[in-house]
Amino acid sequence: MPDAVKTYCRETAAVNVLDWRTDFAFKVSASDCSHLNIPVLLVRGGEANPAMIAITDTLQGCLPNVRCVAVAGAGHFLITSHAARCAELLSSFLLEVA
């Protein structure tokens, strides 16, 4: 990761912990996701950890209108390491679904 991102992560670690606590309290089922009838773009790093791969694979199987993209060479923080590719994917997706 770039030094600026490492610094940001260190400075915001406490808030990140609160985000994770909130996340674990959020309950959603596959059935809930199957009723979400809007276009969804799931993007993960091609080098993502197994948990992230499982999450995106599960969501891809549950969401009715989904596109899933794995960005080659990217890991967990792909919006910092591959910002241009992420912006390209999002822009393209939004233009297509608008």
Any domain includes 93: yes
Residue-wise pLDDT for 77-95, tens only, equals: 899 899 999 999 999 999 9
Any domain includes 48: yes
Query: What is the predicted pLDDT for the residue at 97?
Result: 95
62 CB-near residues (< 8 Å, 6+ apart): 30, 33, 34
Any domain includes 22: no
Query: What is the predicted pLDDT for the residue at 15?
Result: 86
Any domain includes 77: yes
Of 8-12, 17-21, 66-70, 75-79, which range is least confident?
17-21
Contact 33/57 with Cβ under 8 angstroms? no
Residue-wise pLDDT for 1-17, tens only, equals: 788 888 988 999 888 88
Any domain includes 16: no
Tell me which residue range forms the domain holding 51.
Answer: 29-97
Any domain includes 7: no
pTM for the full model? 0.76
**Total number of domains constituting the chain:** 1
